[in-house]
A and B are shown apart, each in its own frame.
Chain A
Amino acid sequence: MTTNDLQTHIQDAEQHRAPMLEVRELETQFFTRKGVARVLDKLSFDIGKGEIVGLVGESGSGKSVTGFSIVNLIKSPGKIVAGEILFEGRDLTKSTEDQMREIRGKSIAMIFQNPRGSLNPVLSVGDQLCQVLKYRQGMSKEQAKRRAIELLTLVHIPEPERRLKAYPHQLSGGMAQRVMIAMAISCGPELLIADEPTTGLDVTIEYQIIQLLKEMRDLTGTSVIVITHDLNMAAEVCDRIMVMYAGKVVEQAPVDQFFSRPSHPYTLGLLASRPSLHGSAEIPTIPGNVPDLIHRPSGCSFHPRCRWATAECSATEPEPQTIGPHHTASCHHLEEVQRDIAAAR
């Protein structure tokens, strides 16, 4: 991406600052036998219109739970206990199940990893697509079929007429994910949540799928939340990246800022632990594990694993600090961290 493109992108993002989705102090908790796991801990973020936002973090950082919370599909024993999810001015946490059903698919669509598992094994691709079009869009059988073919063409499925008759087990993972994307955009949602859309696909297909997501955004202007643990993929597709740790956004930045000036110690750890073609054979890792969410560490949740941690970190929780335009990080020691990185270079 050239600098110019990037700037127009950022300007675009600024123009659309009035966010279409605002998550405010969201708390989703799981009431397990061992105690209450506070999976999302006062999580707050915004998604602008037409923006592709990457939600990255280790397994167990609450990325998927965030996605499921937005569409209100948290399974028992999980529950949203506090906070607001404002979508087009409406608080989704207060919506009834009937209202949510209306929103799901039509306004907010979600796709999952393991696309073949997301398709009903006994129904053909065409039946599944047409069903959505018939029941959600009120199309006739003929219209639905025509639209289904259009949608499959849109997601670059060759021979769409023939594919309509295919069953999920006859599709490759990449094909199945294309079908899922077609289904997700079929009702013209304003927000698409892609939960690890490329996990389990091979690398070339992965690239095609993320390009497709981008293309769909350009085509329909839908906002996209990409949930992933793959920073390289996030770099390819996202306008903005949010790093989650233990149910909180610890750093968020436009994609270029994110890679040029990573600030939070956790972000640094994630970036360092990516395998690279050149460099040492040993990949540095972040010591320790994602914290026990039932007995969360005091202060900054990351302090037990952080080499910059001090007494302050275990005592008080850091507030988000502004680093640049739309770039914030929640850490008590941002200066020291920056100094040490500069010294290491």
Chain B
Amino acid sequence: MSAPTANTPVIPASATDAALTPPLRERAGDFWFVLRRNPTAMIGLLMIAVVILSAIFAPWIAPYPANQIDFAVVSQPPSRAHLFGTDQFGQDIFSRILFGARIDLLIALSAVVISLLVGSIYGAVSGYVGGLTDEVAMRIMDILQGFPRFIFAMGIAYALGPGIQTVVIATAVLNIPGYARLMRSSMLSAKTSQYAMAAKAIGANHRAILFQHLVPNCLIPIFVISTMQFGWAILEAAGLSFIGLGVETSRAEWGAMIQLGFQDFLQGHWWMYTFPGLAIAWTVLGFNLLGDGLQDVLDPRRR
């Protein structure tokens, strides 16, 4: 058994040793390539794009300002001048829906961001620390989830009083446990991974292991869920406004518009609540389709 001498030249790693590395821009391109071939995601994306564009360009597209009260055209059915009709104050419903996209998207975005941040940090730490801490932390989430979702949101909204912040906070709190649980379960599997062990073996401290190594690896399911949560957040926010605990009816917000319209239900003024309702349905559906599609795109096993 002869061992080669120490100065045997090392065979240089050949060019075939690794595939050439595509730059990051190309990887983003790959993602877009796969996404484009997923009809579900594309339809969802298109539907959301319509909503986002109308939110951005509302002042230019909308034929009337959002809060222009005109008692000359009170409770008009849809016509050429008022595409979706007018409400009891003569406000143009089409314009209000366009402007409403701003408030509803803003509420949903804030609620999702807050619950995502709070929930995932909570879940990450809980799962990483484990043991009794984890047990207690998760039981607290159980308590939050123990209440019927909407009743719980109503409770919070009632305590805080109506307003946009109220809706944001109530919707965010409602969604925290979901993110916390999802993050925790991803964390439980990630923390036993070899790269976590390797990081430990090189002397990384807990904070570095948790936030640099583990959390970034747990984000994909979080992102998928948050796209869908976006839709739900809009639904919940509108729900709160509809029962009068959320945004005031004076504001152009879809839920509040439905509430206002519903007061005229017996008069048969169907356009007052149908069109804002359709706007909500359209948006929620768009986000859900995108979420479904993203799940397929981001899951390498389903590519």
Q: Could you list which residues of chain A lie within 8 angstroms of chain B, going by C-beta atoms?
A: 1-2, 5, 71, 73, 101-106, 109-112, 114, 117-123, 131-132, 135-136, 156-158, 162-163, 165-167, 170-172, 174-175, 178, 180, 183-184, 187, 204-205, 207-208, 211-212, 214-215, 218, 235-237, 255-256, 259
- Interface residues of B, count at CB 8 A: 36
Contacting pair B21 A174 (CB below 8 A): no
Q: Residue B13 contacts which of A110, A156, A236, A255 (CB distance < 8 angstroms)?
A: A156
Beta-carbon contacts under 8 Å, B170-225 to A: 193-195, 197-205, 208, 212-213, 216-217
Contacting pair A120 B217 (CB below 8 A): yes
Beyond the given pairs A105-B203, A109-B201, A165-B24, 17 more chain A to chain B contacts, judged by CB atoms under 8 angstroms and listed by A's residue number, are: A2-B5, A5-B5, A5-B6, A71-B201, A104-B201, A118-B195, A119-B198, A120-B212, A167-B21, A171-B18, A172-B19, A178-B13, A180-B198, A204-B11, A207-B11, A211-B8, A211-B10
Q: Could you list which residues of chain B lie within 8 angstroms of chain A, going by C-beta atoms?
A: 1-6, 8, 10-13, 15, 17-19, 21-24, 193-195, 197-205, 208, 212-213, 216-217
Q: Residue A172 contacts which of B1, B18, B213, B216 (CB distance < 8 angstroms)?
A: B18
Contacting pair B204 A156 (CB below 8 A): no
Q: Residue A122 contacts which of B2, B3, B205, B217 (CB distance < 8 angstroms)?
A: B217
- Cβ distance A176 to chain B, nearest Cβ, rounded Å: 9
Contacts of A101 in B (CB 8 A): 203-205
Contacts of B19 in A (CB 8 A): 170, 172
Q: What is the CA–CA distance of A110 and B200 in the complex, to the nearest angstrom?
A: 10
Contacting pair A73 B201 (CB below 8 A): yes
Contacting pair A165 B198 (CB below 8 A): no
14 A-B pairs with C-beta separation under 8 A: A71-B201, A104-B201, A105-B201, A110-B202, A118-B198, A123-B216, A158-B15, A175-B18, A208-B11, A208-B13, A211-B11, A214-B6, A236-B3, A236-B4
- Cβ distance A184 to chain B, nearest Cβ, rounded Å: 7
Look across to chain A and name the residue whose beta carbon is closest to the beta carbon of B218: A122
Given contacts A73-B197, A208-B13, contact A162 B21 (CB under 8 A): yes
Contacting pair A165 B21 (CB below 8 A): yes
- Cβ distance B178 to chain A, nearest Cβ, rounded Å: 22
Contacting pair A175 B17 (CB below 8 A): yes
Q: What is the CA–CA distance of A183 and B198 in the complex, to the nearest angstrom?
A: 10
Look across to chain A and name the residue whose beta carbon is closest to the beta carbon of B212: A131
Number of A-B contacts (CB under 8 A): 124
Q: What is the CA–CA distance of A167 and B17 in the complex, to the nearest angstrom?
A: 15
Contacting pair A117 B201 (CB below 8 A): no
Q: Residue B198 contacts which of A106, A112, A135, A205 (CB distance < 8 angstroms)?
A: A112
Contacting pair B10 A215 (CB below 8 A): yes
Q: Residue A212 contacts which of B10, B18, B195 (CB distance < 8 angstroms)?
A: B10
Contacts of B4 in A (CB 8 A): 1, 211, 236
Contacts of A205 in B (CB 8 A): 17
Secondary structure of the A side of the interface? helix
Contacts of A170 in B (CB 8 A): 18-19, 21-22
Contacts of B3 in A (CB 8 A): 1, 235-237, 255
Look across to chain A and name the residue whose beta carbon is closest to the beta carbon of B203: A105
Contacting pair A136 B13 (CB below 8 A): no
Q: What is the CA–CA distance of A105 and B199 in the complex, to the nearest angstrom?
A: 9
- Cβ distance B29 to chain A, nearest Cβ, rounded Å: 15
Q: What is the CA–CA distance of A178 and B4 in the complex, to the nearest angstrom?
A: 20
Contacting pair B21 A157 (CB below 8 A): no
- Cβ distance A162 to chain B, nearest Cβ, rounded Å: 6
Look across to chain A and name the residue whose beta carbon is closest to the beta carbon of B12: A156
Look across to chain A and name the residue whose beta carbon is closest to the beta carbon of B208: A135
Q: What is the CA–CA distance of A104 and B198 in the complex, to the nearest angstrom?
A: 10
Contacting pair A121 B194 (CB below 8 A): no
Contacting pair A132 B202 (CB below 8 A): yes
Contacting pair B203 A102 (CB below 8 A): yes
Look across to chain A and name the residue whose beta carbon is closest to the beta carbon of B8: A211
Q: What is the CA–CA distance of A112 and B200 in the complex, to the nearest angstrom?
A: 12
- Cβ distance B202 to chain A, nearest Cβ, rounded Å: 4
Look across to chain A and name the residue whose beta carbon is closest to the beta carbon of B10: A211
Q: What is the CA–CA distance of A258 and B70 in the complex, to the nearest angstrom?
A: 100
Contacts of A171 in B (CB 8 A): 18
Contacts of A172 in B (CB 8 A): 17-19
- Cβ distance B242 to chain A, nearest Cβ, rounded Å: 41
Q: What is the CA–CA distance of A4 and B213 in the complex, to the nearest angstrom?
A: 48
Given contacts A211-B8, A236-B4, contact A109 B195 (CB under 8 A): no
Q: What is the CA–CA distance of A231 and B12 in the complex, to the nearest angstrom?
A: 24
Given contacts A118-B194, A207-B11, A208-B10, contact A259 B203 (CB under 8 A): no
Which of B12, B194, B205 gathers the greatest number of chain A CB atoms within 10 Å?
B194
- Cβ distance A312 to chain B, nearest Cβ, rounded Å: 32
